[in-house]
Amino acid sequence: MHYCSSFQVDRQIVYSQFINSIPLAVPNQNLPVGLHTTASGWGYVDSRRTTRPNILQTIDVQVVSSNYCQEVHNISIYPLHICAYGGEGYGVCSGDSGGPLAFGGRVVGIVSWGSPCALGFPDVYVRVSEYVDWITTNAVD
């Protein structure tokens, strides 16, 4: 299963201080274990899923090995995934899916899934570098 899609908008996007683009990951880019990355989103900010933020939330998360991620989640983790961990009580939550994982001014991952709201396990992201060719082939100016 793939968690990457494209869509076409019916008008030109007007960029501003609040609306901007971010470059894609480098094709086949490897992210080493321990690398600090930034996840962001508008998802819930509490484990009971009752509170949404008024401002964009960001968190520093470290890349962890696929083997470790697979072990703690007891589910297969594929090369199309990146696992990253923000620490006990920190991570992405419901509503953050589809949001970016960034490093070096590029989007390297897309929030996919994890344990409910930062319960001490790594979160799983789609590895954008595996889709760069597909994205650029299907993008329309």
pLDDT of residue 141: 67
Report the pLDDT value the prediction gives residue 71, as an integer from 0 to 100: 96
Structural domain count, the chain: 1
Helix, strand, or coil (residue 108)? strand
* Structural domain contains residue 29: no
Q: Which domain holds residue 62?
A: 36-138
Per residue in 77-91, pLDDT (tens digit) is 999 999 999 998 889
- Tokens 């789609």 locate to 126
Reported confidence tier of residue 114, pLDDT bands at 50, 70, 90:
confident
Report for 9-13, 27-31, 105-109: range of highest mean pLDDT:
105-109
- C-beta separation of 123 from 89 below 8 A: no
Asked whether residue 18 is domain-assigned, the answer is no
- Whether residue 12 is contained in a domain is answered as no
- Domain assignment present for residue 14? The answer is no
* Angle 112-110-32 from CA coordinates, rounded to 5°: 105
DSSP secondary structure code for residue 70 in this structure: H
The reported pLDDT for the residue numbered 70 is: 95
Q: Residue 76 maps to which CATH number?
A: 2.40.10.10
Assess if residue 120 is contained within a domain: yes
Residue that the structure tokens 């509170």 belong to: 51
Give the model's pLDDT for residue 49. 84
Tell me whether residue 127 is in a domain. Answer: yes
Task: Report how far residue 39's alpha carbon sits from residue 113's, in angstroms, rounded to the nearest whole number.
Answer: 13
Residue 87 within any structural domain of the chain: yes
